[in-house]
Chain A
Amino acid sequence: MSDTALLVARDLTITGPAGDLVHGISFALQRGGTLGIVGESGSGKSLTCRSLLGILPPGVSVTGGSIEFDGRDITALGYRDWQSLRGTHISAVFQDPGSYLNPSITVGKQLAEVLRVKTGLGRRAATVRAVELLASLGLRDPALVSLQYPHELSGGMLQRVLIAIALCENPQVLIADEATTALDVTVQAEVLDVLADLRESRDLSLILVSHDLAVVAQVCDEVVVLRDGLIVEAGPTARVLSDPQHTYTRLLVENHARYGIERYTSELADA
């Protein structure tokens, strides 16, 4: 794998109490690149993400292969080392943003708290920085949003708040694990735009995990298709979509060709 790779998994095997869940997969995230991981529930995509963050559930562990970040082997880090890596270098957002926030504290305070603890800012500076961060994510009236409670915000706004929290320490890699799945399609488009923007403005490398090939196609240059803990296909997104080799990838593409909006949008494009 080339020397521009920032995050590399080599022959990664993840094992649970009942046996192997991810069977020796390899992929690389390029510096400033976007990698999509596509798969259905049970494909091992979330476990793969979690292994990159050092947050595998109890009883599940990496039993083979390696994970390298910026040339350093991070497969067997201890608790302390992960603490210093997670957030500062590799960060993540997940599905259902509401469940990660305290419902009885304003989102501005929660964001400022992370800033104070993680970056050592003073109380006042953290409050100012929190509003700046919210503004940088395209939230209209960020000062008002920072004073609101999670239940007062929509799903798309909450996900932006979570992205803001994930970006507190200027990480190099952001992992978005089904981060737009629970959102309405119009809001999903906005959040995908935000992610694409961040990649540009912050020189962020992005891993986008989704069950939907089309979502990945909006943002990612490279894609890895996972099934039952194995990579069935990998390559540049455009190639995989136009010329899928594996039956499973073909099935995903067929889903859109037969029951998707594609046939109408291509008519639209022709018109």
Chain B
Amino acid sequence: MPDTQPASETPTLLAVADLTVSLGHGRRRAQVLRGVDVAVAPGEIVGLIGETGSGKTTIARSILGLTHIDGGSIRLGGTDVATLTGWRLRAFRRAGIAQYVFQDPLRSLDPQLTIADSVAEGLRVRGGLERADVRERVAAALTLVGVSPALATRHPGELSGGQRQRVAIARAMVLEPELLICDEPVSALDAANRIQMLDLIQHLRDARGVGVLFISHDLGSVAGITDRVAVLYRGRIVEQGPTAALLTASQHPYTRLLIGSAPTLTGGAADRTRRTELREQLAAIETG
């Protein structure tokens, strides 16, 4: 694998090594991740890019201990998440070191709960706080993401899509996580909200030093916001490195194809002959 150097100088927050996962049962069981290595340092934004079915979400679920893994290790802070079971796993999740922000904020927020209750849920599960403290932290988290605490008594249905996505982030940030896993956080947003959401994620990194694993199929968002990028193709990381280097001097044909296929305002998608060549190279790698 070319160019794999999870910044050795900085202490790693997340280190996924040789992660292998299979899903399904019996004859339909299939390996969806094959020896994946990904690392995120504190305060670093790492992009994970790949097409539908490449295994992006399975990596996220594995980090949170939501999927049984076949092999490999997932170190988060000082803990190997992969070895946790039973109450240890539950205690780890309750502590909330890693938090997940889903793509669709309408479905990830309980429509019956007020914004305040949704945001406070994690704090209540963790326990040990007075009511007033909970209220204060909820207000602080909402302010952090740019939602007026005055909206705390509303329900998700009364908020715009952009506001709901912010609330979903407040719900994650209220637990003061060290790692934020954002799974397609801007795919469902319109142009204005997309810019604001990407600004917000950068702000959280700057203000709170939170590490971010930014999962997306959209090369544009990944290019704009990440420090490093890992390219996932059919369950394998085929290439990773600093964003600028990866985008301007990519080695793997799949990365090049991705870049050459991205529509740009300059009409800059690579010409078709180039893409056909890359597809052939890719097919040759797969068969050979």
Secondary structure class of chain B's binding surface, majority of residues: helix
A window 254-271: CB within 8 A of B: 254-269, 271
Interface string of A209-249 (1 = CB under 8 A from B): 00111110110000000000000000000000100000000
A254 and B195 contact, CB distance less than 8 A: yes
Binds B, one of A14-22, A145-153, A184-192: A184-192
A218 and B267 contact, CB distance less than 8 A: yes
Whether A40 sits at the interface, judged by CB under 8 Å, is: yes
Whether A11 sits at the interface, judged by CB under 8 Å, is: no
Chain A contact patch, size range: 35 or more
- Bound-complex Cα distance A252 to B263 (A): 14
Q: How far is the CB of B259 from chain A (nearest CB, A)?
A: 7
A185 and B267 contact, CB distance less than 8 A: no
B195 and A217 contact, CB distance less than 8 A: no
Counting residue pairs across A and B whose Cβ atoms lie within 8 Å, the total is 110
- Bound-complex Cα distance A266 to B59 (A): 32
Q: How far is the CB of B207 from chain A (nearest CB, A)?
A: 19
* Partner of B51 from A184, A192, A260, A265 at Cβ < 8 Å: A184
* Partner of B263 from A215, A258, A266 at Cβ < 8 Å: A215
Chain A minimum-CB-distance residue to B260:
A189
B191 and A255 contact, CB distance less than 8 A: yes
A260 and B247 contact, CB distance less than 8 A: no
Which residues does chain B contribute within 8 Å of A193, judged by CB atoms?
Answer: 272
- Bound-complex Cα distance A257 to B264 (A): 10
- Bound-complex Cα distance A104 to B133 (A): 57
Which residues does chain B contribute within 8 Å of A212, judged by CB atoms?
Answer: 263
Whether A41 sits at the interface, judged by CB under 8 Å, is: yes
Chain B minimum-CB-distance residue to A155:
B52
Which residues does chain B contribute within 8 Å of A262, judged by CB atoms?
Answer: 264-266, 268
B264 and A256 contact, CB distance less than 8 A: yes
Binds A, one of B19-27, B70-78, B215-223: B215-223
Interface string of B252-268 (1 = CB under 8 A from A): 00000111111111111
Whether A55 sits at the interface, judged by CB under 8 Å, is: no
Chain A minimum-CB-distance residue to B223:
A261
B window 122-157: CB within 8 A of A: none
- Bound-complex Cα distance A212 to B218 (A): 12
Whether B205 sits at the interface, judged by CB under 8 Å, is: no
- Bound-complex Cα distance A193 to B260 (A): 13
B267 and A186 contact, CB distance less than 8 A: no
Given A40-B190, A217-B264, A267-B248: A259 in contact with B224 (beta carbons within 8 A): yes
Interface string of A23-51 (1 = CB under 8 A from B): 00000000000000000110000000000
A window 48-65: CB within 8 A of B: none
Whether A253 sits at the interface, judged by CB under 8 Å, is: yes
A-B contacts besides A218-B269, A256-B264, A259-B198, 15 pairs, CB < 8 Å: A184-B51, A184-B217, A185-B218, A186-B258, A193-B272, A214-B263, A215-B263, A251-B195, A255-B195, A259-B224, A259-B225, A262-B265, A262-B268, A266-B268, A268-B248
Binding site for B on A (CB under 8 A): 40-41, 155, 184-186, 188-190, 192-193, 211-215, 217-218, 241, 251-269, 271
Can you offer 17 A-B residue contacts whose CB atoms are under 8 A? Answer: A185-B51, A185-B217, A186-B261, A188-B261, A189-B263, A214-B262, A214-B264, A217-B267, A218-B263, A241-B265, A255-B194, A255-B195, A258-B224, A261-B224, A263-B223, A266-B268, A267-B248
